[in-house]
A and B are shown apart, each in its own frame.
Chain A
Amino acid sequence: MRWSMIVIFLAIIIGGFTFMAFSVDSVISNITLGLDLQGGFEILYKVVPVNEEQQVTQSLLHDTYTALYRRVDAMGVSEPDLRVEGEDRIRVRLAGVHDPEEARRFLSTEARLSFRNTEDEFLFGGEHLKEGSARAVFDEYNRPIVMLEFKDPDLIRQITSEYLHDIIVIWLDFDEETDSFREEMLKEDPKFLSAPEVKSVLSTEASITGFQSYEEAEELASLLNAGALPVQLEELTARSVSPTLGERALDLTVRAGMIGGALIALYMLLYYRLPGLVAALALFFYVYFILVVFNWMNAVLTLPGIAALVLGIGMAVDANIITNERIKEEIRSGKTMMSSFRAGSKRSLRTIMDANITTIIAAGVLFYFGDFAIQGFALMLIVSIVLSLVTAVLGSRLLLGLLVASRAFDNKPRWFGVKESEISEL
Chain B
Amino acid sequence: MNFNFDPESSRFQFVKHRYKYFLVSAVLIGLGLVIIAVLGLNLGVDFESGSTLEILIQGQPFTTEDVQAVFAELGLEPGDIRLIGNNNEIAEVRFIGTLDQEEINRVREAFAERFGEIDINESTVSPLVARELANQAVYGILLASLAVIIYVAIRFEYRFGIAAIIALFHDALFIVAVFALLRLEVDLTFIAAVLTIVGYSINDTIVIFDRLRENMKFAKLKRVEDLEQLVNRSIVENLPRTLNTSITVVFAALALYLLGGEGIRNFSFALLIGLLAGTYSSIFIAAQLWFEWKKRELKKKMFQPQNA
A260 near B240 with CB under 8 A, answer no
B249 near A307 with CB under 8 A, answer no
Counting CB contacts under 8 A, is A311 at the interface?
Answer: yes
Q: Mark B118-148, 1 if CB is under 8 A from A, else 0.
A: 0111111110110011001101110111011
Residue of B nearest to A381 (CB): B199
A271: chain B residues within 8 A (beta carbon) = 1-2, 244
A307: chain B residues within 8 A (beta carbon) = 192, 256, 260, 264, 267-268, 271
Q: Which of B54, B101, B123, B133 is A373 in contact with, Cβ under 8 Å?
A: B133
B144 near A310 with CB under 8 A, answer no
A310 near B252 with CB under 8 A, answer yes
Q: Interface size bucket, B side?
A: 35 or more
B151 near A361 with CB under 8 A, answer yes
B202 near A358 with CB under 8 A, answer yes
| Interface core residue of A307, A377, A381 (most chain B CB under 10 Å) | A307
Chain B residues 235 to 255 lying within 8 A of chain A, measured CB to CB, are 237, 240-241, 244-245, 247-249, 251-255
Shortest CB distance A404–B (Å): 20
Shortest CB distance A318–B (Å): 5
Residue of A nearest to B126 (CB): A236
B271: chain A residues within 8 A (beta carbon) = 307, 311
Q: Mark B245-280, 1 if CB is under 8 A from A, else 0.
A: 101110111111011110110011001000000000
B54 near A377 with CB under 8 A, answer no
Counting CB contacts under 8 A, is A417 at the interface?
Answer: yes
Counting CB contacts under 8 A, is B191 at the interface?
Answer: yes
A239 to B54 alpha-carbon distance, docked (Å): 11
Counting CB contacts under 8 A, is A8 at the interface?
Answer: no
Kindly count the residue-residue contacts between A and B in the assembled complex, taking CB atoms under 8 Å apart.
222
Chain B interface (Cβ within 8 Å of chain A)?
Answer: 1-2, 4, 54, 56, 90, 101, 105, 119-126, 128-129, 132-133, 136-137, 139-141, 143-145, 147-148, 151-152, 155-156, 164, 188-189, 191-192, 195-196, 198-200, 202-204, 206-207, 210-211, 214, 237, 240-241, 244-245, 247-249, 251-256, 258-261, 263-264, 267-268, 271
Identify 29 residue pairs between A and B in the complex whose beta-carbon atoms are under 8 Å apart, listed by A's number: A236-B128, A236-B129, A237-B125, A238-B122, A238-B125, A239-B121, A239-B122, A239-B124, A240-B122, A242-B119, A244-B119, A248-B56, A252-B259, A252-B260, A259-B259, A304-B192, A311-B196, A313-B248, A314-B253, A318-B203, A321-B240, A351-B207, A351-B211, A359-B202, A361-B147, A363-B144, A370-B136, A373-B191, A373-B192
Chain A interface (Cβ within 8 Å of chain B)?
Answer: 36, 44, 100-101, 104, 236-242, 244-245, 248-249, 252-253, 255-257, 259-261, 263-264, 267-268, 271, 303-304, 306-308, 310-311, 313-315, 317-318, 321-322, 325, 328-329, 347, 350-351, 354-359, 361-366, 369-371, 373-374, 377-378, 381, 417, 422
